[in-house]
């Protein structure tokens, strides 16, 4: 693989970082109601040349798991053996995070405004700064997300599985599910893909919550990807139990046909059969119950977390698999938290 940066020095935000050095850099963003605002970036450069990879979190300001994943990642001593350059951006949408909201103050979704413009809206200006200063300088990115507000996601990696390179890295992540995902106009992944920069999307947990299992899978997954990408020492497979993700090419959100109070009967990771009752909706002012059934066999990878439901609301996200029994069996190791530890010689505080 040809890398974008082979020189001894690397410049980011006007700051030069030599090989073998770590640096925290502040990149100017539009002020927050007159208060100076910056994009905080941590750059870790290995002593030897290699790929340039960014890890980003909180493009949606209320998605907190990724912030904690990057914080823990920075503490891992194994990164002292890094080959290439790692760029860590714990909070892309600082405005949203400060206000505990998905959006920017202009109510725009940052992940629909790439590549951005220096003369556009606030969202467009932030998108341009992040893309030009970080993304465009990289060979690969891992973007960390959670479900949207009042929903929960089973840990999963989304990418283009038709791309042999990204499929290899997605499987190496060892999340429970790898999901084929098309790109959306204006998203970071769509614009990066157009410019030849592959992106892995890690989705896990809920907005405004920290989920320990999702965080541990995320930290270990990033280390696994860096190993698979030749940036960290490979580990001996002897005695190491590899978790094989289940691969899905198709998924669908199941929506409520009526409004009311919903009782979900299935949880994340559960297998459902065609026609199986997966939830019941009790109408609030009349004695009437509506059953929600699975339209096809699959595994639940996302679900609503709020009991009040409106007609048309998304209730369950179900992924289909070629062999549902194999997929179910592959999910079993993810219930054992001890298997989420990172195998390496160095001490690691998870």
**Can you identify the CATH homologous superfamily of domain 9-245?**
Zn peptidases (3.40.630.10)
Give residues with Cβ within 8 angstroms of 10, minimum separation 6: 16, 17, 18, 19, 43, 45, 52, 85
| Domain ranges across the chain | 9-245, 251-334
Contact between residue 55 and residue 141 where contact means Cβ atoms under 8 Å apart? yes
Query: Among 193, 210, 201, which Cα is nearest to 173's?
Result: 201
Distance CA 98, CA 79 (A): 29
- Entry pTM: 0.94
SS3 (DSSP) at 306:
coil
Q: pLDDT tens digits, residue range 192-207?
A: 999 999 999 999 999 9
Contact between residue 305 and residue 183 where contact means Cβ atoms under 8 Å apart? no
Q: pLDDT tens digits, residue range 89-121?
A: 999 999 999 999 999 999 999 999 999 999 999
Encode burial over 280-302: b for 16+ CB neighbours within 10 A, e otherwise.
ebbeeeeeeebebebeebbbbbb
Q: Read off the DSSP letter of residue 242.
A: P
Q: pLDDT tens digits, residue range 34-85?
A: 788 999 999 999 999 999 999 999 999 999 999 999 999 999 999 999 999 9
Contact between residue 249 and residue 255 where contact means Cβ atoms under 8 Å apart? no
From 2.40.50.100, 1.10.10.10, 3.40.718.10, 3.40.710.10, which CATH number describes the 251-334 domain? 2.40.50.100
């Amino acid at each position: 693989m040809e890398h974008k940066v082979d020189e001894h020095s690397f410049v980011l935000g006007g700051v030069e970082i030599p090989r073998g050095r770590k640096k925290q850099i502040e990149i100017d963003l539009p002020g927050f109601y007159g208060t100076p605002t910056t994009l905080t970036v941590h750059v870790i450069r290995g002593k030897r040349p290699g790929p340039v990879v960014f890890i980003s979190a909180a493009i949606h300001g209320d998605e907190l798991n990724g912030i904690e994943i990057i914080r823990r990642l920075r503490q891992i001593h194994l990164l002292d053996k890094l080959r290439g350059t790692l760029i860590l951006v714990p909070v892309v949408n600082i405005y949203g995070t400060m206000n505990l909201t998905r959006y920017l103050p202009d109510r725009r979704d940052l992940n629909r405004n790439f590549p951005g413009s220096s003369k556009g809206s606030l969202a467009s200006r932030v998108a341009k700064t992040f893309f030009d200063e970080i993304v465009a300088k990289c060979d690969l990115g891992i973007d960390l997300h959670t479900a949207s507000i009042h929903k929960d996601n089973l840990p999963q990696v989304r990418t283009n599985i038709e791309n042999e390179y990204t499929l290899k890295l997605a499987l190496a992540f060892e999340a429970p599910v790898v999901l084929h995902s098309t790109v959306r106009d204006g998203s970071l992944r769509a614009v990066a893909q157009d410019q030849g920069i592959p992106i892995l999307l890690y989705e896990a947990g809920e907005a405004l919550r920290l989920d320990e299992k999702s965080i541990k899978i995320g930290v270990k997954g990033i280390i696994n990807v860096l190993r698979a990408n030749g940036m960290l020492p490979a580990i001996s497979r002897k005695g190491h139990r590899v978790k094989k993700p289940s691969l899905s090419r198709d998924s669908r959100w199941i929506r409520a046909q009526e409004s009311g109070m919903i009782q979900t009967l299935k949880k994340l990771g559960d297998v459902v059969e065609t026609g199986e009752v997966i939830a019941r909706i009790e109408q609030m002012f009349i004695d009437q119950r509506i059953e929600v059934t699975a339209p096809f066999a699959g595994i639940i990878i996302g679900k609503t977390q709020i009991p009040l439901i409106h007609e048309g609301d998304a209730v369950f996200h179900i992924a289909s698999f070629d062999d549902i029994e194999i997929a179910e069996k592959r999910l079993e190791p993810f219930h054992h938290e001890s298997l989420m530890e990172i195998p390496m010689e160095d001490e690691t505080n998870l």
